[in-house]
Amino acid sequence: MVADLKATEGGDILVLSSASVIKALLAADEVDRLALTIFPVFLGGGPRLFDDGLPTGQWALASQAAGEHGTLALVYDRVR
């Protein structure tokens, strides 16, 4: 289904705040870019995006920015 969406015109497919969908897309090797925002808050729970370490394959840091209060915005591109 993702391959069908990618084959159509219309731009990028964006997934916001859904760890289960992102995990499934990573497992199917359908992710070209990861944009992560890291907040320095320790809550002690919640679902993990990367249960067993980083996703497989090669990833390159495309951009990084530090925000107020210690936030980090990181963008990684898949190297194919």
**Angle in degrees, CA 39, 45, 17, rounded to 5:** 55
Task: Decide: 63 and 77 in contact? Cβ < 8 Å.
Answer: no
The full set of domains in the chain, from first to last, is 2-79 (3.40.430.10)
How confident is the model at residue 69, as a pLDDT?
85
Cα–Cα distance, 23 to 58 (Å, whole number): 16
Q: Is the dihedral of CA 13, 25, 17, 66 positive or negative?
A: negative
68's tokens: 């107020």
How confident is the model at residue 62, as a pLDDT?
96
For the chain, counts of helices (H) and of strands (E): 2, 3
- pLDDT 10s per residue in the chain (80 long)? 777 777 787 777 788 878 888 888 888 888 889 898 888 776 666 677 777 776 777 899 999 999 988 899 999 999 98
How confident is the model at residue 24, as a pLDDT?
86
